[in-house]
Amino acid sequence: MLPDLVNAAVLLGNYVIVPGLAYAAQLALGALGITLVFGILRFANLAHGDLMAFGTMATILATWLLQAWGVGLGPLPTALLALPFGIVAAIAAALAADRLVFRFYRRRRSAPIVLVMASLGVMFLLNGLVRFIIGPGDRQFTDGERFIVKAREFKRATGLAEGLSIKTTQCLTVVVAAVAVFLLFRFLQRTRTGKSMRAYSDNEDLALLSGINPERVVLIAWAIAAALAAIAGALYGLDKSFKPFTYFQLLLPMFAAAILGGIGQPVGAIVGAVIVAFSEVTVTYAWKKFLHYLLPGPWQPDGLAQLLSTDYKFAVSFMILVLVLLLRPSGIFRGRVL
Amino acid sequence: MTPALRNAVALAIVGAGLAGVGFGQSWSLALAVFNLCLISALMSLAVNIQWGYAGLFNIGIMGFAALGGLAGVLVSRPPVPAAWAAGGGGLFIALLILMAAGGLALALARYMPRSRMRAAALAAVVLAGLFGAGVFFDPAVDAIEAVEPAKTGYLGGLGLPIILSWFAGGLLAAGAAFVIGRIALGLRSDYFAIATLGISEIVIAVLKNEDWLTRGVKNVTGLGRPVPYEVDLQRDPWFVDLVAVLHSRSLEALSGEAHEAALREFAVQSSSLFVKLCYAGLFLAVLAVVFWLSERALHSPWGRMMRAIRDNETAAGAMGKDVTRRHRQVFILGSAVVGVAGAMLTTLDGQFTPAGYQPLRFTFLIWVMVVVGGSGNNLGAVLGGFLIWFVWIEAEPAGLWLMQALTAGLPEGSAFREHLLASAAHMRPLVMGLILLLVMRFRPRGLIPAGGR
């Protein structure tokens, strides 16, 4: 009985918890960017997915260059070295978009929906640029050691029937995301600029009265959102693969996470991302083997015991989105934003 | 420029563009572009109804167009009796269970007091319903998909003329819009946008994966036609006579074998043109009817009320107008028109390919059309549809040409040049994004603004 329990736990860890955590970290970084832009600029930025793709593309190009020079990080992927380049490129793209497109509507105090439409145009442009430069196909750019824990070695070491494998990229994703989130929260809570951003998001007029420069706040919000987007995109691409269209599709789970947590709430974005990621993974996971370990013979299911096929993972984030909007439109965390 | 003059100029530009394609490339191509222009114009008109009349930002157009396409399959394909016999009963039972669970859940939500108990009971009913339906659904689906998977493997349709699917597509899309409207309308406008985006992705996922309904990515080809086939036309005496009369001058000079061969050649060419013209006539009729109806609606008391709601929801609400209800109404109407357009597109293609639905092409392109045409302006939406579809079609060859011109100085076979030439296809989103942003910025009321309303 006990080995069965352990096997079931390892199985769960291998197929649900580890991939779910990595995915949650990637979503959280994206959702943080969306929530930040929403908190400061007060519109839903549809271009965020393609901004992620843009940053990732720059990272990939820099990775190729570094690889051509023979520079690497040994067991870690070279992309980690190239990431700053991707971040700078994403920030440049976001600032250019703000300067050329969004600032105009902000100054005219246009309705939020006009800004959303403008972000649609920016999305088109970024999408075209990315496809133009790197093409619409699938790109793998992971190198270095692939696994930290290999399934076969794990089996040999523990003598269990189930193996646990942890990819380097999964571990890296969680670590990098944790560092980024820690820095972001420290910035928002402790620094003068961070506090001014929170003040601006809370009450624009009061913030203006106390001498906060709105252009500066907006600039920094864009820079942070773009940096997070580039990191999230590069980590997602390392973990899975880079394909521009996939990044556009990430928009839905990221928005679901941001809205679930309460839009404008950084903590909420992270909690939302964890919920969305794990719902997606658990609903699309085939529980057959897991149940076989735990249930006595006659109770064991014949089918895959999969609630939804993996092709419907969007439906999961969408259901979450709809349920939240219907039951608690303000999200889990209410009240003060940022 | 007065609005009338501007409209005339825009119309002339589109006409000149089509004529240019006709003379420069071929008339067959020009007609093909024209047909798609008509469908685009219809979609653009539909979105204009939602955005221009009511300010609804729907970015799930693709989903409704795909539902219209699905109607094309469900109406026109012959039923597959073997599949019905194999799995029809199971599907029916699964449906009954789902409906019973849904009814029970609704009743619980309505009559039980709000408590933890209710939430638990609701969750239990929903899960039990899903699980119970799955018990019957999965084997039924397997049985259906096992019936000659290379040819059918789905339930088929009703075997009716495909032109009926235009109505069915509208109804299907309207039904979907009703459900979505109940859920998502009344939310903040940007939440509504994201909800529609999600719905459209889910619709496409369902069409791609539910093989028992749509054959999924195996596609349904060889759909019926509302117009004659080219091969039949070429054998039809009246058509051949017509061709002989039309081309009498060039045929006169020939005789015997050469005359026959030339006549056959002309008949082949003309039959393809004739079929496209038939489609164009049908589409034009639909577009004209929808255009007339929406113009009438816009100038009726209903249209004035819609504009009042669009311009100031609070004030309209204070005047006793039910804003959410009107929004739902207009959302359903617009979506129905998108559904009709989607069914028309599937009819024109003669096949249903779920993998062909891309948000860039079916949602965002339509938005560019509406913005360029000027929101709230029906004629503008139609012209925007024509103009933007034309640009979309021609952006690729133009991009290729531009790239060739730009890279002419680079050495033949250089990697950079090859890359640029291969990337010319991605000029489209770039150009569309630019057009959208430039028009929004410098002509916020569109290229053809509504006159003083």
Subunit contact A113:B183, Cβ cutoff 8 A: no
Which one-letter amino acid corresponds to residue B94?
A: A
Q: Which of B69, B75, B87, B84 is nearest to B176 (CA)?
A: B69
CB contact at 8 A, B143 and B90: yes
- What is the least distance, in Å, from the CA of A135 to any CA of chain B? 7
Identify whether the C-beta of residue B68 lies closer than 8 Å to the C-beta of residue B339: yes
Distances (CA, A) of B211 to B168, B208, B343: 20, 7, 19
Nearest-CA distance A37 → chain B (Å): 14
pLDDT of residue A10 exceeding 90: no
Looking at chain A, the whole-number percentage of residues with pLDDT higher than 90 is: 41
Listed residue (B126, B70, B193, B49) closest to A43, CA to CA: B193
The pLDDT-based confidence of A91 (bands split at 50, 70, 90) is very high
Q: Which residue has the higher pLDDT, A6 or A235?
A: A235
Nearest to A303 among B138, B202, B422 (CB): B138
A122's tokens: 């920016």
**Higher pLDDT, residue A144 or A301:** A144
- What are the backbone angles phi and psi of residue A13, rounded to the nearest 5°? -60, -45
Helix (H, G, I), strand (E, B) or coil at B366: helix
* Residue-wise pLDDT tens digits, A273-322: 999 999 999 888 888 778 878 777 777 777 777 777 777 887 888 888 87
Nearest to A268 by CA among A201, A337, A176: A337
Arithmetic mean of pLDDT, B297-317: 88
Distance CA A267, CA A264 (A): 9
Q: Which two tokens stand for residue B266?
A: 């002309």
Using CB atoms within 10 Å of the CB of residue B258, give its burial: 0 to 12 exposed, 13 to 18 middle, 19+ buried: exposed
pLDDT at A337: 58
pLDDT at residue B413 greater than cutoff 70: no
Q: What is the pLDDT of residues B153-192, one digit of tens each?
A: 788 888 888 889 999 999 999 999 998 888 788 777 778 8
More confident residue, A288 or B284: B284
C-alpha distance from B407 to closest chain A C-alpha (Å): 15
H or E element: which one contains A167? strand A166-167
C-alpha to C-alpha distance for A82 and A59, rounded to whole angstroms: 5
Chain B residues touching A306 at Cβ < 8 A: none
Q: Cα B336 to chain center, whole Å?
A: 10
Residues facing A250 on adjacent strands: none
Q: Is A42 exposed, middle or buried (0-12, 13-18, 19+ CB in 10 A)?
A: middle
Q: Tokens for A121?
A: 């145009």
pLDDT at A147 over 70: yes
Burial group, residue B183, by CB count within 10 angstroms (0-12, 13-18, 19+): middle
Which letter, b or e, does each residue of B55-92 get, where b requires 16 or more Cβ atoms within 10 Å of its Cβ?
A: bbbbbbbbbbbbbbbbbbbbbbbeebeebbebbbebbe
pTM for the whole structure? 0.88
**In Å, how far is B33's CA from the nearest CA of chain A?**
23
pLDDT given for residue B83 in this prediction: 83
Which chain B residues are Cβ-neighbours of A44 within 8 angstroms?
A: 190-191, 193-194
The residue-averaged pLDDT of B117-141 equals: 84
Q: Are A188 and A338 in contact (CB under 8 A)?
A: yes
For position A125, what pLDDT does the model report? 92
Which residue of B437, B438, B441 is the best one to mutate when testing the A interface, meaning the one whose CB has the most A CBs within 10 A?
B437
Using the Cα atoms of residue A220, residue A226, residue A230 and residue A236 in order, give the sign of their dihedral: positive
Average pLDDT over residues A204-222: 90
Provide the 3-class DSSP secondary structure of residue B114.
coil
Give the nearest partner residue to B434 out of A104, A117, A125, using CB atoms. A125
Nearest to A163 by CA among A9, A1, A321, A331: A9
Of the pLDDT bands very low, low, confident and very high (cuts 50, 70, 90), residue B452 is very low
d(CA A275, CA A180): 20
Inter-chain Cβ pairs, chain A and chain B, closer than 8 A: 127
Are A138 and A242 contacting, i.e. CB atoms less than 8 angstroms apart?
Answer: yes
Select the more confidently predicted residue: B240 or B344: B344
Buried b / exposed e along A135-146 (16+ C-beta atoms within 10 A): beeebebbbbee
CA A247 distance to own-chain centroid: 10
Q: Is B406 on the interface with A (CB under 8 A)?
A: no
Closest-CA residue in chain A for B361?
Answer: A124
Alpha helices per DSSP H over B26-115: 27-54, 61-76, 81-83, 89-111
Rounded to a whole number, what is the distance in Å from the CA of B189 to chain A's nearest CA? 7
Residues from chain A that touch B132, judged by Cβ atoms under 8 A, are none
Determine the 3-state secondary structure of B305 from DSSP. Answer: helix
**Alpha carbon distances (Å) from A45 to A33, A113, A204:** 9, 10, 19
Distance CA B242, CA B240 (A): 5
Q: What is the CA radius of gyration of chain B?
A: 26
Q: Which of A44, A309, A312 has its CB closest to that of B190?
A: A44
From A28-37, B217-226, B381-390, the region with the lowest mean pLDDT: B217-226
Question: In this model, does residue B414 exceed pLDDT 80?
Answer: no
Q: Band of the pLDDT at B106, cuts 50, 70, 90?
A: confident
Cα radius of gyration rounded to whole Å, chain A: 21
Angle between helix A266-284 and A251-261 (nearest 10): 120
Q: Select the residue of B55, B184, B441 nearest A104 (Cβ to Cβ).
A: B441
3-state secondary structure of B224: coil
How do residues B352-380 score in pLDDT, each as one tens digit?
998 889 888 888 899 999 988 887 788 88
Which are the contacts of B219, defined by CB distance < 8 A and separation ≥ 6?
Answer: B351, B352, B353, B354, B355
Structural contact between residues B356 and B430, judged by C-beta atoms closer than 8 angstroms: no
Distance CA B415, CA A337 (A): 50
Reduced to 3 DSSP states, what percent helix, strand and coil does chain A have, rounded to the nearest 5?
75, 5, 25
* Residue indicated by tokens 């597109």: B345
In this complex, the residue of A114, A309, A321 whose CB is nearest that of residue B198 is A321
pLDDT at A306: 74
3-state SS, one letter per residue, for A58-120: HHHHHHHHHHHHCCCECCECCHHHHHHHHHHHHHHHHHHHHHHHHHHHHHCCCCHHHHHHHHH
Can you say whether residue A109 is alpha, beta or left, with left for phi > 0 and alpha for psi between -120 and 50 degrees? left
Low-confidence winner among A57-61, A235-239, A262-266, B319-323 (lowest mean pLDDT):
A262-266
- Contacts for A201-209 with beta carbons within 8 Å, 24 or more apart? A201/A39, A201/A40, A201/A264, A201/A337, A201/A338, A202/A336, A202/A337, A202/A338
Q: Check whether B46 has a pLDDT greater than 90.
A: yes
* Residue A148 parent element (H or E): strand A147-149
What ipTM does the predicted assembly reach? 0.87
What is the per-residue pLDDT across B246-277, written as a single tens digit (0 to 9) for each?
877 777 777 777 888 888 888 888 888 889 99
Of residues B198, B177, B213, B227, the one with CA closest to residue B340 = B177
Looking up tokens 């080995």, which residue turns up?
A: A3
Highest mean pLDDT: which range of B264-278, B282-296, B376-390: B282-296
Tell me whether strands A147-149 and A166-167 are parallel, antiparallel or unpaired: antiparallel
Nearest to B59, CA basis, from B201, B230, B223, B194: B194
Do B430 and A129 count as a contact with CB atoms less than 8 A apart? yes
Going by C-beta distance under 8 Å and a sequence separation of 6 or more, which residues neighbour residue B15? none
Token pair, residue B223, equals 């759909």
Is the per-residue pLDDT at B307 higher than 80?
yes
Q: How many Cβ atoms are within 10 Å of A148's Cβ, its own excluded?
A: 14
User: Beta partners for B79?
Assistant: B156
As a whole number of angstroms, the distance between CA B36 and CA B386 comes to 8
Contact B433 A136 (CB under 8 A): no
Query: What sign has the CA pseudo-torsion B220, B225, B230, B233?
Result: positive
Cβ within 8 Å of A, B 411-430: 422-423, 426-430
Cβ-Cβ contacts under 8 Å, B205 against chain A = 311-312, 314-315
What is the DSSP code (8-state) at residue B188? -
Q: Is the pLDDT of residue A21 over 50?
A: yes
Scan for tokens 């630019």, then name that residue.
B434
Chain A residues with CB inside 8 Å of B193's CB?
44, 46, 113, 116
Q: At what angle do helices A79-97 and A112-134 cross, to 10 degrees?
A: 140
What average pLDDT does the segment B314-325 reach?
89
Q: How far is A252 from chain B (nearest CA, A)?
A: 6
What DSSP element (H or E) covers A282?
A: helix A266-284
Give the residue with greater pLDDT, B452 vs B98.
B98
CB A35 within 8 A of CB A268: yes
